[in-house]
Structure 1
Amino acid sequence: MDYTKWIRTKVGSEMIILNFAGAIVLDEEGQILLQRRRDKNAWGFPGGAMELGESAEETAIREVKEKTGLTIIIEKLIGVYTKYFDRYPNGDQAQTISFFYQGCITHGELISSNEESIELQFFNPDEVPDLFNQQHTDAFNNFRAQRVGVFR
């Protein structure tokens, strides 16, 4: 079941609360995996919406696999980011609550693109481009400062 699509059939584009989870995924050299998102043509961390019955950790692992082809393990919670708002290209509005984790790759092969990604690329932490929203930027800044368990 796609929870977001289902709830949107009930409320249309009105402002709702949506829960997301994603991961800052590191390779063996310490480079960070980013996804150029098709919906906003901008870079961000792989992740996505929670489905009913899923934990935030399960969501992050599933979404990374779906978007990148890589299987990860979660190493730590970077933070929970709750007071953010977004308007999507289709007009949908949401207060977005996002759980960001740090993860490492256990296996898999990086895909080149998919229906939600224009491209996937590893970046040196000092060369990460601007990210598509403030939640991702705040999570990245906390990661760089080696903060964990952040909540805001």
Structure 2
Amino acid sequence: MATPDFIREIRATAGHQLLLLPGVTAVVFDDQGRVLLNQRSDTGRWSVIGGIAEPGEEPAATAEREVYEETAVRCVAERVVLTQALKPVRYANGDHCQYLDLTFRCRATGGEARVNDDESLEVGWFPVDTLPPLSEFSLFRIKQSLTDGPTWFAPTAGA
């Protein structure tokens, strides 16, 4: 995954210190109720689609852009299903990041699912009852996207 130019510019002065970055996840369903997944080129694992918001970009637009960039599928973000501050990560180059993830349930509106950039090895539609092996991260987001409940978030310590 290429580091966005705006992050490279920040790193030029901030060094490797912890950056809080806006991340977006898109759980995309088609008219048949299948979910769109990609096999990530960095890990080789199947996953829901996601990425980092660019400066000034609305999170829903980020979700829609990332889906198209990675899978050639057009979609519309319908609602926020989850917000979560993820655990900080340290990359091999020393960069330290923490992502604030906003997960959107999205509806496919067009395009043919295919690998559309270097972030995916494969892409495809999967019935929710026959998913490939997925991380808890992806499974939880799919589960939340299938509910009509309120947006999920971690309760505060005093709650």
Runs ≥4 residues deviating over 6 A: none
1:142 matched to 2:144: yes
- Which piece of structure 1 moves more, 119-128 or 60-69? 119-128
Equivalent position of 1:20 in the other structure: 23
Query: Given the superposition, is the C-alpha separation of residues 126 and 85 from structure 1 closer, same or farther in structure 2, using an over 3 Å criterion?
Result: farther
Q: Distance in 1 between matches of 2:139 and 2:87?
A: 12
Where structure 1 has 5 or more consecutive residues not aligned to the other structure, the ranges are none
Report the Cα offset of residue 116 of structure 1.
0.7
- Which AA in structure 2 matches 1:139? R
Contact 2:72 2:115 (8 Å CA) reproduced = no
Shift of 1:145: 4.5
- Give the superposition deviation at 1:144: 4.1
In 2: Cα distance, 1:54 partner to 1:42 partner: 28
Q: What is the rounded CA distance, in whole Å, between the counterparts of 1:15 and 1:131 in structure 2?
A: 28
Larger radius of gyration: 2
Aligned partner (choices 121, 141, 150) of residue 118 of structure 1: 121
Q: Give, in whole Å, the separation in 2 of the partners of 1:113 and 1:66.
A: 6
Q: State the shift of 1:89 in Å.
A: 5.2
Deviation at 1:30, TM superposition (A): 0.6
Q: Using a 3 Å threshold, how does the CA distance of structure 1 residues 127 and 88 change in structure 2: closer, same or farther?
A: farther
Amino acid at match of 1:117: S
What secondary structure, in the 3-state scheme, does the structure 1 residue paired with 2:122 have?
strand
- Report 1:3-152 matches (<5 A): 3-88=6-91, 90-132=93-135, 134-152=136-154
CA contact (8 A) 1:61 1:71 kept: yes
**Letter in structure 2 aligned against 1:147:** G
When normalised by structure 1's length, the TM-score is 0.85
| Root mean square deviation, CA, Å | 2.2
**What amino acid is the match of 2:40?**
R
CA distance in 2, matches of 1:102, 1:55: 15
**For residues 46 and 94 of structure 2, what CA distance do their matches in structure 1 show?**
20
Q: CA deviation at 1:130?
A: 3.6
Query: Residues 41 and 90 from structure 1, CA distance in 2 versus in 1: closer, same or farther, beyond 3 angstroms?
Result: farther
